[in-house]
């Protein structure tokens, strides 16, 4: 994470809501995949702001193509840089940014700047006509790479740097980002978003753009922004994380696989070493899944859209408790096949996520609203001042515990049997709530059952199979009627 963003995220902000005063650093962001701008704005006000989220990543706001059966991936094909998509128009986008910022939540836009479209031609969501290499008033044939390889200009050899960065990713017209004209066009689009208050960008398909080209584009931005790059990493490949770190953070793409493997294959010590082989914590985005992984690599990662929901929830707890990286949570929709897009209205716009009673409407999943998520976001924020591990213990397989200095304690049992022992903590003696228990209310910070830390700093307890106990200095036991 860039130092300027790190400093901004660690600034103390005060947000007052009916039941909670939030005065802590904000250290967790979320991707609300395919949500409308109106729903994102409402979620900032109703949940993300009060829960202490730092930011929300929204779907690409540019005008996208319209394809048969409205697949999710049409959002990642650029018909124009007009802000007219199935999530909403420019006015709705600007209103969302303003409302989110007013409750302490920044907006990060998913920025598609490597390519335009991968179809022969058509009309975009806002009515803009185009062909594969001709976008009137924007780009023409000369503004794209035509690498002359493999009979169709597509990337085949991922060990070849030239091919990765000059040929087409699944037929997507590859922009000639080395030219001044293209750089200026892309910078103008990003500046437009900055003018509307966007605070940062996820750079889609960054691996396919030479780092020096990105640096040239960023140099044209009107003001600083938080930038993180999608670099799907191959340690044996020619494109390395390190190339992009001078210009922003990177998404640690193997982190979700290592996390899933440690839990699935009962390897607590691998979880202890989870940061090995990744960039420094300050440079890394960590996540359990995202829109790509749950479709492209579902067998290797944990997903809410699977039969492993209990492991997925434990994975979320571990990621938010472990002091590494800038965590990104995810909320999307259930799907039956790879291409399936989000639910749409009769006007082909993203369907509202919540009904009039505030209930999540299927197939939207709203997994970020699981009870333990708000509690763990609070844990991450409150323990930021102790960004290290102490009192590590594991059985070498499927049980572990650790402290976050004197601010928090975590014990996880991902075995199939109950776990019982005395755990060493660094917490002040007293009674605490288990903040990931269904018994805990994260808004009132109350519970009906307590965990007691002794005068020697130990806590004794029984932890059921596939569950966790998380104690937080700022959540001492406060009872409520059962």
- Ordered by start, the domain boundaries in the chain are 3-382, 387-472
pLDDT band for 298, please (50, 70, 90 cuts): confident
Res 481: pLDDT: 56
- Whether 416 sits among the annotated catalytic residues: the reply is no
What is the end-to-end Cα distance of the chain in Å, rounded? 43
Question: Domain 3-382 class?
Answer: alpha beta
Q: Is 387-472 the same fold as 3-382?
A: no
| Cα–Cα–Cα angle for 415, 421, 424, rounded to 5 degrees | 110
Question: Domain 387-472 class?
Answer: mainly beta
Burial environment of residue 323 by CB neighbours within 10 A (0 to 12, 13 to 18, 19 or more): middle
- Whether 204 sits among the annotated catalytic residues: the reply is yes
pLDDT band for 182, please (50, 70, 90 cuts): very high
pLDDT band for 480, please (50, 70, 90 cuts): low
Res 22: pLDDT: 41
**278 touches 254 (CB < 8 A):** yes
Q: What would the pLDDT profile of 392-437 be if each residue is shown by its tens digit?
A: 999 999 999 999 999 999 999 999 999 999 999 999 999 999 999 9
User: CB-hemisphere CA count at 13 Å for 354?
Assistant: 14
Q: What would the pLDDT profile of 308-342 be if each residue is shown by its tens digit?
A: 899 999 999 999 999 999 999 999 999 999 999 99
Mean pLDDT of 125-146: 98
Phi, psi angle pair for 285, to nearest 5°? -95, 130
Whole-structure pTM value: 0.94
Mean pLDDT of 461-469: 97
Res 416: pLDDT: 96
Q: Pick the catalytic residue: 43, 143, 230, 283?
A: 230
Q: Pick the catalytic residue: 63, 153, 163, 204?
A: 204
Res 479: pLDDT: 72
Res 179: pLDDT: 99
Average pLDDT score, the chain: 94
Q: Is the pLDDT of residue 306 over 90?
A: no
Instruction: Give the CA distances from residue 55 to residues 47, 60, 103, in Å, rounded to whole numbers and listed in that order.
Output: 12, 15, 10
Number of helices (H) and strands (E) in the chain: give both, helices first: 12, 22
pLDDT band for 102, please (50, 70, 90 cuts): very high
Q: Is the pLDDT of residue 76 over 70?
A: yes
Res 307: pLDDT: 80
The C-alpha atoms of residue 461 and residue 17 are separated, in whole angstroms, by 34
Q: What would the pLDDT profile of 368-397 be if each residue is shown by its tens digit?
A: 999 999 999 999 999 999 999 999 999 999
Among the residues of 289-391, which ranges form H helices? 293-296, 309-321, 371-382
Q: Count of CB atoms within 10 A of residue 375's CB?
A: 26
Phi-psi region for residue 318, left (φ > 0), alpha (ψ -120 to 50) or beta?
A: alpha
Buried b (16+ CB within 10 A) or exposed e, 120-151: eebebbbebebebbbbeebbeeebbbebebee
């Amino acid at each position: 994470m860039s130092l300027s963003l790190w400093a901004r995220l660690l600034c103390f902000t005060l947000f007052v809501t009916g039941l909670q005063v939030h005065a802590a650093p904000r250290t967790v962001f979320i991707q609300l995949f395919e949500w409308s701008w109106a729903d994102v704005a409402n979620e900032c006000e109703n949940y993300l702001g009060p829960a202490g989220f730092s930011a929300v990543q929204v779907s690409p706001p540019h005008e996208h193509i319209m394809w048969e059966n409205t697949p999710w991936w049409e959002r990642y094909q650029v018909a124009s840089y007009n802000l007219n998509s199935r999530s909403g128009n420019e006015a709705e986008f600007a209103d969302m940014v303003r409302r989110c910022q007013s409750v302490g939540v920044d907006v990060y836009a998913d920025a598609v700047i490597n390519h335009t479209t991968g179809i022969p031609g058509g009309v975009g969501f806002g009515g803009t006509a185009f062909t594969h290499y001709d976008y009137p008033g924007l780009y023409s044939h000369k503004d794209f790479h035509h690498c002359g390889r493999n009979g169709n200009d597509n990337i085949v050899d991922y060990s070849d740097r030239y091919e990765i960065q000059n040929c087409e990713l699944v037929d997507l017209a590859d922009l000639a980002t080395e030219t001044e004209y293209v750089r200026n066009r892309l910078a103008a689009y990003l500046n437009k978003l900055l003018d509307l208050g966007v605070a940062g960008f996820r750079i889609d398909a960054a691996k396919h753009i030479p780092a020096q080209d990105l640096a040239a584009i960023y140099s044209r931005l009107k003001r600083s922004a938080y930038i993180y790059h999608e670099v799907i990493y191959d340690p044996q490949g020619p494109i390395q994380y390190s190339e992009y770190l001078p210009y922003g953070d990177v998404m640690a793409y193997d982190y979700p696989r290592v996390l899933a493997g440690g839990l699935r294959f009962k390897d607590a010590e691998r979880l202890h070493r989870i940061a090995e082989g990744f960039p420094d914590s300050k440079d890394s985005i960590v996540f359990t899944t995202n829109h790509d992984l749950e479709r492209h690599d579902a067998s290797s990662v944990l997903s809410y859209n699977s039969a492993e929901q209990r492991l997925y929830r434990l994975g979320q707890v571990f990621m938010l408790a472990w002091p590494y990286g800038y965590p990104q949570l995810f909320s999307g929709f259930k799907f039956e096949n790879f291409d399936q897009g989000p639910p749409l209205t009769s006007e082909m716009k993203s369907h509202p996520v919540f009904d009039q009673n505030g209930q999540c409407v299927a197939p939207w999943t709203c997994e970020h609203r699981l009870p333990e998520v708000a509690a763990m976001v609070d844990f991450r924020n409150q323990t930021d001042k102790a960004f290290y591990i102490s009192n590590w213990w594991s059985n070498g397989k499927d049980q572990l515990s650790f402290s976050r200095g004197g601010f928090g304690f975590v014990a996880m049992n991902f075995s199939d049997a109950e776990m019982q022992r005395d755990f060493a903590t660094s917490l002040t003696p007293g009674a605490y709530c288990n903040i990931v228990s269904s018994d805990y209310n994260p808004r009132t910070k109350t519970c009906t059952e307590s965990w007691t830390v002794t005068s020697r700093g130990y806590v004794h307890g029984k932890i059921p199979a596939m569950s966790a106990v998380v104690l937080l200095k700022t959540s001492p036991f406060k009872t409520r009627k059962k």
